[in-house]
Structures are given as structure tokens and as C-alpha cells.
Amino acid sequence: MKKTLSTLALTSLILFAGSAQAEAINQSLPESVAQALKANKLPPDAVSLVMLPLTSQDTPTIFNADVPLNPASTMKLVTTYAALELLGPTHQWRTEFYTDGSLKAGVLSGNLYLKGGGDPKLNMERLWLLMRDLKANGVRQITGDLVLDRSFFIPPQNDSFVDDGGDENKPFLVGPDALLVNLKALRVLVRNEEGRISVATEPPMANLIIDNRISSQRGVQCQDWPNTRYNVTQNAQGQLVMVATGNLPEGCSGQSYLSILDHPQYAAGAVRGIWQELGGSIQGADRLGNVPPKARLLARAFSPDVVEVIRDINKYSNNTMARQLFLSIGARFRNANDADDAQAANRAVHNLFTKKGLDASNLIMENGSGLSRNERISAREMAYMLRAAWYGPYAPEFISSMPLVGMDGTMRKRLRNMAGDAHIKTGTLNNVRAIAGFSRDGRGNTWAVVAILNHDRPWGASSILDQVLISLQSRK
């Protein structure tokens, strides 16, 4: 979607675009968008719209563009753009095993420390490979404790989002952590074979006892969503117990994705479960602590780079990974005046906007994911950031991280008649619908497009915003 320009030509194009916008700006909504708003009984000022031409001299559209709005998940574009610029496209995170003891004949006499580095994508496969490296380095039996070092981040204390259903076990609500393992997602599998019900977890959790109280049903059809529920408690011995209740018809199975353990419980359970499968043992307890200064490195794993991480974040609107990325920016630029890494990241992003000559007077970032009732940005600020990204050094990486309209990510099922003609990030909260990204018009020219709708009754708002892209493609 982008042609290479020389520095001189690029400068001339930017100056021309600025002068052209000063001379002529369309301040009206496209007719189809206005009609769609009216049909859904929404006022025109419920939406803010900016369409900036990037490869032509067409007139930009700027409507109600300076109102600070909740952008929902389109805020992830600000976070991922900042990560490319501030961390760099090749930045990687490290996860490491250390020890304060000695190793002889496969026995590690001392503690095993697992130090998190904020990796947004430490999945089970990569943790397994890291532990394979630990075993390959001669470790079999560990006499001391498993110590989790989560000190890489200074997380904010008031960053929370209450889902409308009040279900804190939903994976999309998982918060960030310096030692985030597998997005803290636990897959619970249940099966009824001839009246015998089995319950298992993936990954297997060595520190989790399953109390299976699910009843078997006969002569009942299988359901798309089995009537099963899961709750984690502690028994008298302090052990974690997952109580499974509900009922399941014979011959049926189901699975649920939950986040019912906290970060230390999940990380320790996964490590012990994998280590047992590899034939190892850890004799001590699980606890939190920092790696001692003189500890010895045993194994290290590197994450995928920023380019791969932002693709997962933008295409699939991954809230947890976005929040990890935001805090990673803060950890890089933290100073003594910052109360936490969210504050440091907010300051770093505002400084980036200033450096790029972008207005950020309306920009409020709480966690960088858009999963917030407090985050704000104006449509103009978002659109001008997109224009800066288009002319920036990492434009291909940034653009390709967004969903392809009608083809993948959160836009896979929308506007299939426009398949491949736009890279668009979506945003959705109860009172928010938003789109932001890059789209072509009917002549093949590319535009930066931002449309944000905030209203208490956003019924039909997604189809209204689709009309923005349709109206742009209809320009011949």
C-alpha cells in the first residue's frame, strides 16, 4: 500500500498535504453515513470522522474531529505505533532461569529462580523449550524452592476494568505481569463416556487438584455450551482445588477457557507440570522473590520480536498483550519520578507525539489496550498519528499488523466485497464502536481513516462505520 519516496519528495508531499488541507476541507459526513445514522436514530455528533488522503491531492474529510472520545481497542494502534518507534521492531523480551546453588550429578542443591522479563508471548511451547534447555544443561532434581521473580514491571495499582457480566475469569480481562505465562489461559476439557465424566486441564497444573462433581445425564442431546462451572478454592492444607459442577449428557464433551488462577499460581503450576513431564522434580515450595545478585544463569529464552507481537495485538485485539507492551515501554523509559510503568509509558508516548509534531492534548492512556473507561483520544489526533506512521520508517510493519478487511482478524467477516482493500483496526465497548487504519478509494489511492462513535445506544454502529469505508471506495 506504500510507495518508496525520497526524502525530498516526502517532505514536499507532507508540506503540500498540509497546505491543501488548509485550503479545502470537507466538513460534512458522507451521505450514506449520515443516512445510516438517521436510520439508527443516532445524532450526527455521535460520530467523529477523519479521512486524510495519503497518495493523492483529494480533499480530506474532517467532521467533529476534536472531541476527546473513548476509542476502545483502536487505542492499541497508539501503543503498537509507539512500541515500533520507542522499543524498535527487533526488540525482544527475555525469560531466564537462575540458581543460587551448585549443580552436581543432575542435582541442583539450591533454589531455582524463574525471572520474567515482561514477555507478552511466553506460551506453553516456548516455556517447554526453555525447560528442555534447563534439562539439557544437566538439571534433573532441585532441592530448593521454585522462586518467581516478577520485579521487571512496576504495575499500576488502580488499573482495572469490570466486565458488564462481572465475570473476572474471562481471558480477555487478564491483566499484565512481568511473568505472564500462556496469557494465563487455562483450557478445561470435560468428557462423558458411558456415564464416566473426566475433567482435565491444559496445560496440566501440578499445583491444582480437580474435584469433579459434574453429574451425568442420559437421553439428553449434546449442547453447544455444556452446563458446567468451575471455581477454585483452597483446602485445609492450603492446596488449590478446582471444583467442577453442573451436568453433562452421555457421549458429550466440551471445553472452556478460564483464567481462574492468579499469575504466580499459574506460572508455578505450569513450570512444575512441565518439569514433571520431563522427568524432573522440585522438592521445595513455590514463593516470590528476586534473583540474588550473584545467582548463576542456567537457561534463557528470547521472545518473538515487536513486529510479531504487534501483529497478534492488532489483528486479534489481544488486550493482555497490549497491556504488556504498554508496560514494557514504561519499563524502558521509567525514571525516579514515575510512580509506575503505566505513568512512565504515558509520558514516553506523549514525548513521542511531541517529537513527531503531533498533537496529544486529548490523549489519555491508562493501559494502552483500550479496555478502559478512562482512555481518550480525538479522531484528528488518531488520524494524524496514522499519517505520521505512513511516512515513518516502520510503515510496512505497522500496516500489516492490522486486520485485512474481509479476510482476517477482527475484520474477517465484515465487508467481504472489499476484501484486501483496507487494513482496519476495530474497537468495541458497550457504548463505543470505532475503526481506524488505512483504506483505498475507488481509484486505488490510500487514505488514513478514523471513525469513532460514542453513544449510550450504539445500535447498528458497526454497519454505520462500515459505510465510511464503503463511501470511500465509491470515490471514482
Cell of 427: 474497537
pLDDT, tens digit, for every residue of 39-63? Answer: 999 999 999 999 999 999 999 999 9
Statement: residue 2 has pLDDT above 60: no
Write the DSSP symbol of residue 224. Answer: S
At 169 the pLDDT is 76
Q: What is the pLDDT of residue 170?
A: 84
Q: Is 177's pLDDT higher than 70? A: yes
Long-range Cβ contacts of 390-396 (<8 Å, 24+ apart): 390/2, 390/54, 390/438, 390/446, 390/448, 391/5, 391/10, 391/14, 392/84, 392/85, 394/84, 394/85, 394/89, 395/2, 396/2
368 sits in the region (left: phi over 0; alpha: psi -120 to 50; else beta) called left
Please state the rounded mean pLDDT for residues 186-191: 96
What is the identity of the amino acid at 104? K
pLDDT at 132 over 50: yes
**Side-chain half-sphere of 295: how many Cα atoms within 13 Å?**
23
329: left (phi over 0), alpha (psi -120 to 50) or beta: alpha
Please state, as a whole number, how many other Cβ atoms lie within 10 Å of the Cβ of residue 92: 16
Q: How many CB atoms lie within 10 A of CB 386?
A: 25
In this prediction, residue 422 has a pLDDT band, given cuts at 50, 70 and 90, of: very high
Asked if the model's pLDDT at residue 256 lies above 90, the reply is: yes
Instruction: Give the number of other CB atoms < 10 A from CB of residue 125.
Output: 9
Which tens digit of pLDDT belongs to each residue from 343-352? Answer: 999 999 999 9
pTM assigned to the model: 0.92
CB 416 within 8 A of CB 398: no
Query: Given a cut of 90, is residue 201 above it in pLDDT?
Result: yes
C-alpha grid cell, residue 161: 476494568
Q: For 242, what's the count of Cα atoms within 13 Å in the CB-facing half-sphere? A: 25
Q: Cα 297 to the chain's mean position, in Å?
A: 30
pLDDT for residue 19 is more than 70? no
For residue 454, what pLDDT is reported? 97
Contact criterion met (CB below 8 Å) for 290 and 151: yes
